[in-house]
Amino acid sequence: MNQTNHAGRPPIRYRLRRRIQRHRRLIACLLLSAAAGVAVEAAVGEDYATTTVVSAAHDLPVGKVLSDADVALIDLPEQAMGGPAYQDRSQVVGQQLAAPLSQGSPIPPTALVGDGLLTGTAPGTVAVPIRPADPATVQLLAPGQIVDVILSTGNGYDVASESTVLARSVPVVWAAPGGSGGTWPGADDDAGLVVVAAGAEEAAALAGASSSGDVHLVLRTAP
């Protein structure tokens, strides 16, 4: 039995139901859009704790000695911090980069030539600078590369040649970019300079090795 009003038309609730059924997909899309808008507004409106850190003001190459124009202060959510970072420009200006950094990247201690390069190493490990006899060797190296350090003495003629392994399987923590770079304390030129992480006994053998003969680096796979 059809339900109609006195004018012969269905009641309003039936006409409304038919319209809803006819446009149910459109209504569903509108409801989803509204729900998404509410979620975005809630997320944007939520306050996150931030930390001010020193970052790269532009793309920086390895070996770069940082100036005030190379760094900037940015605010990062604490949840986005992957580890320790500097919070004062003066802590990094004048320091040399041990790795390249992209614009906006926070500057961690491990990115600078110095004690930060030894982060995570065994207690007593020291950073030892050495100069291979062939400076071109440095172009084959990158931080993390494992090497043996060998000292060759004599010339094979009037003095017999002799080779001694000074250190085995030590990691490179820094190498002069392209065979040259900025300044290293106590050296006028970084050309051919390599820094390895070594134990106390190995460090004693490596110190001054270049003045005793020719130092060679043999690349190894990670142990």
CATH number of the domain where residue 70 is located: 3.90.1210.10
Indicate whether 129 and 103 sit together in one domain: no
Same domain membership, residue 54 and residue 76: yes
Instruction: Indicate if 148 and 206 belong to the same structural domain.
Output: yes
Cβ atoms 119, 125 nearer than 8 A = no
Does position 59 have pLDDT exceeding 80, yes or no? yes
Mean per-residue pLDDT, 141-153: 90
Q: How many domains does the chain have?
A: 3
In the predicted structure, residue 23 carries a pLDDT above the cut 70: no
Same domain, 105 and 120: no
61-64-70-73 Cα dihedral, nearest 10 degrees = 90
Among 66, 97, 112, give the residue marking a domain's end: 112
115 or 32, higher pLDDT: 115
108 and 66 co-located in one domain: yes
Report pLDDT for 27: 64
Identify the domain boundary among 112, 130, 149.
112
Percent of the chain predicted with pLDDT > 70 = 69
Is residue 182's pLDDT more than 80?
no
Please indicate, yes or no, whether residues 140 and 197 belong to a single structural domain of this protein.
yes
121 and 58 in one domain? Answer: no
* Whether residues 59 and 33 fall in one domain: no
**What number is the average pLDDT over the span 150-160?**
77
Residue ending a domain, among 92, 112, 132, is 112
Model confidence over 185-198: pLDDT tens digits?
A: 444 455 678 899 99
pLDDT of residue 212: 82
| Cβ within 8 Å of residue 218, ≥6 positions away | 147, 148, 150
Is 207 within a domain?
Answer: yes
- Is the model more confident about 202 or about 7? 202
Can you tell me which residue has the tokens 């949840």? 79
Which pLDDT does position 184 carry in this prediction? 40
Is 90 exceeded by the pLDDT of residue 8?
no
Q: Do 27 and 79 share a structural domain?
A: no
Query: For residue 72, is it within any domain?
Result: yes
User: Are 91 and 77 part of one and the same domain?
Assistant: yes
Residue 148: CB atoms within 10 Å: 15
pLDDT at 86 over 60: yes
Average pLDDT over residues 33-54: 67
Can you give the pTM of this predicted structure? 0.59
Domain that holds residue 35: 12-45
Which range, 11-15, 42-46, 151-155, is most confident? 151-155
Asked whether the beta carbons of 194 and 176 are under 8 A apart, the reply is yes
- Are 65 and 36 members of one domain? no
Q: Give me the residues paired with residue 79 across strands.
A: none
Q: Would you tell me how many other CB atoms lie within 10 Å of the CB of residue 181?
A: 23
User: Are 25 and 75 in the same domain?
Assistant: no
